[in-house]
Amino acid sequence: MKILVTGGAGFIGSNFIRFLLESGKGFRIVNLDKLTYAGNLENLADLSRSPDYEFVRGDIGDGKLVDRLLGNGVEAVVNFAAESHVDRSLYEPDLFIQTNVLGVQILLHAALRHKVKKFVQVSTDEVYGSLGPREPGFREDFSLAPNSPYSASKAAGDLLARSYFKTYGFPVVVTRCSNNYGPYQFPEKLIPLFVTNALENRPLPVYGDGLNIRDWIHVEDHCRGLELVLEKGRPGEIYNLGGRAERTNLEITKSILRILGKPESLMQYVSDRPGHDRRYAIDFSKIEQEIGWKPRFDLDEGLRQTVRWYTEQENWWRRIKSGAYREFYEKHYGGRLS
């Protein structure tokens, strides 16, 4: 099967491409990525000579390019291309609308014209909004209540995907996952930021009281779920993927410091993020019952493996921190990176 993977140079996309090519199932991958600040071809350098892998630099908002790629034997699309960091969406919401809404529409319509057999729209649990401490996890039939420009733009993309199934019968499937962690994650997200800051003995900025709760899923579990959805997911359906691993941000922070043998004095409480959702939790019983997926990674062991990866890949994250991330971090958070 020939698959167009968009946003494949990013964190989840690059892990997904590697997962498919190492599966031995004969996948051929075209990776379309704009290479914004979070896209990094180094994530896939070991695959550059594979006959089953092709990289194309470009934007899903470029209709002519998307049309050309889809007209060259592509059978399925998995769309990771997105502006994805909540903090950035507070300061640059227009970029999120451009890619996460308009770009999705261009991609969907081109895929419809070329009769693509399966379109997987990769989304987030943040479109559901926030949960109270005792409320059950998000189910696929929950109403959407996004609370940030990022999650609103992702919800809009999901609804566009739904409309293409309802209007045209186009075989779209939407997936919504909880917080990912693992190798190659850009160090603006909580776990890689805190690991790399701790390795440099720099402050770990904890929002508010640190008691916001997230469900964590290892990126490899997510990739395995996406492959199953690509192969077995029913068109028009939504599938939640979670890690069954709720933790407060404070618990994650202390775990990272404990693994690294660093003092808790590195924690620095900072003003809370505007519109910061209190709790996310995922009910993934639908995909478990229909397709047979469930997470395999234990969070404690997965976190230890992830911390070890960043410890061993210091050159990788130092090169990133010396680039575009520095400007944004220093401008909006007053952090100083070296």
List the catalytic residues. Answer: 125-126, 150
Within 8 A by CB and 6+ apart from 53, the residues are 17, 21, 28, 29, 31, 44, 47
Q: In the 3-class helix/strand/coil scheme, how is 170-208 assigned residue by residue?
A: CCEEEEEECEEECCCCCCCCHHHHHHHHHHCCCCEEEEC
Closest CA to 16 of 272, 230, 294: 230
Tokens representing residue 190 in the block: 């909580």
How many angstroms separate the first and last alpha carbons of the chain?
44
Do 198 and 253 form a contact (C-beta atoms < 8 A)?
Answer: no
Kindly write down the DSSP assignment for every residue of 18-45, as one continuous string.
HHHHTTTS--EEEEEE---TT--GGGGG
Closest CA to 295 of 258, 246, 252: 246
**If phi over 0 gives left and psi between -120 and 50 gives alpha, with beta otherwise, what is residue 100?**
alpha
Regarding beta strands 213-218 and 204-207, do their DSSP bridges make them parallel or antiparallel, or are they unpaired? unpaired
Interior/surface letters 217-236, b for 16+ CB within 10 angstroms, e for the rest:
bbbbbbbbbbbbbbeebeeb
Interior/surface letters 111-129, b for 16+ CB within 10 angstroms, e for the rest:
bbebebebbbbbbbbbbbb
Kindly write down the DSSP assignment for every residue of 123-157, as one continuous string.
EEGGGG----TTSPPB-TTSPP---SHHHHHHHHH
Per the listing, tokens 């909540």 go with 86
